[in-house]
A and B are shown apart, each in its own frame.
Chain A
Amino acid sequence: DTEVTQTPKHLVMGMTNKKSLKCEQHMGHRAMYWYKQKAKKPPELMFVYSYEKLSINESVPSRFSPECPNSSLLNLHLHALQPEDSALYLCASSQILGETQYFGPGTRLLVL
């Protein structure tokens, strides 16, 4: 089973709101990733967790705050976002760092 789930599927938020995106996998993978994808562009890596520790932060603004509460869950906390942060946010997981990444269905975020 190569399933990664993400909630919510769609999210509309104002610039003063606080919201969270959730990602879950039950494949026993120990690496999890957040990507941001703008329309007609490839995904851009934001964060990588390996064994529940933040491994890579691609110089993402602090209004995005990742959290890995356990090996199956990955959250992305959003606060004071800008309209240009509107995008598809994809979560992925892999057995370990460097192995094949399996993606979730994504959350489409609109910031008004």
Chain B
Amino acid sequence: AQKITQTQPGMFVQEKEAVTLDCTYDTSDPSYGLFWYKQPSSGEMIFLIYQGSYDQQNATEGRYSLNFQKARKSANLVISASQLGDSAMYFCAMKTGFQKLVFGTGTRLLVSP
């Protein structure tokens, strides 16, 4: 069975600093994809970044990077130079094949001035 674990219910960071949001996963399928989504208080789930299990390099998208450690089964999201607009709930998710997307419980990030 697939499982995503996000152990940080809440994180605080000061503006302009970097922050790491943790995500560990469990699957027996050798082919899988890992996603991070951002959900502001408005409700929309915003796709941030994707990492495939066979990708050799860590994914990056602007200020977002995914620290993929396959042996540890972790896929942490790193946000560099935090901005006030980064305050939101962040969900890690995984899919294998055509199976449904499995979400973690989320981490609420608060960026302070």
Which residues of A approach B to under 8 Å, CB–CB?
A: 2, 40-43, 45, 48, 56, 58, 88, 90, 92, 97-98, 100-106, 108
19 residue pairs of the A-B complex, CB under 8 angstroms, read A2-B47, A41-B105, A42-B91, A42-B105, A42-B106, A43-B103, A45-B101, A56-B100, A88-B43, A90-B43, A97-B98, A98-B95, A98-B99, A101-B101, A103-B45, A103-B46, A104-B44, A105-B43, A105-B44
Docked Cα-Cα span, A18 to B45, in Å, equals 27
Partner of B97, one of A41, A58, A98, A105: A98
Q: Are B100 and A106 in contact (CB under 8 A)?
A: no
Docked-complex contact B104 and A101, CB < 8 angstroms: no
Determine how close the nearest CB of chain A comes to the CB of B46; give it in whole angstroms. 7
Given contact pairs A42-B91, A100-B50, A48 touches B43 in the complex (Cβ within 8 A):
no
- Which residues from A are CB-within-8-Å of B50? 100
Which secondary structure dominates where chain A touches chain B? loop
**Given contact pairs A40-B106, A58-B100, A98-B95, a sample of 6 additional A-B residue pairs in the complex whose CB atoms are under 8 Å apart:** A97-B98, A98-B98, A100-B50, A103-B44, A105-B44, A108-B43
Alpha-carbon distance between A42 and B45 when the two chains are bound, in angstroms? 10
Closest to A35 in B: B45
Q: Are A105 and B95 in contact (CB under 8 A)?
A: no
Is B25 located at the chain interface by the 8 A CB criterion?
Answer: no
* Across the A-B interface, the 10 shortest Cβ-Cβ residue pairs: A42-B103, A103-B45, A106-B43, A105-B44, A98-B98, A97-B98, A45-B100, A88-B43, A100-B50, A42-B91
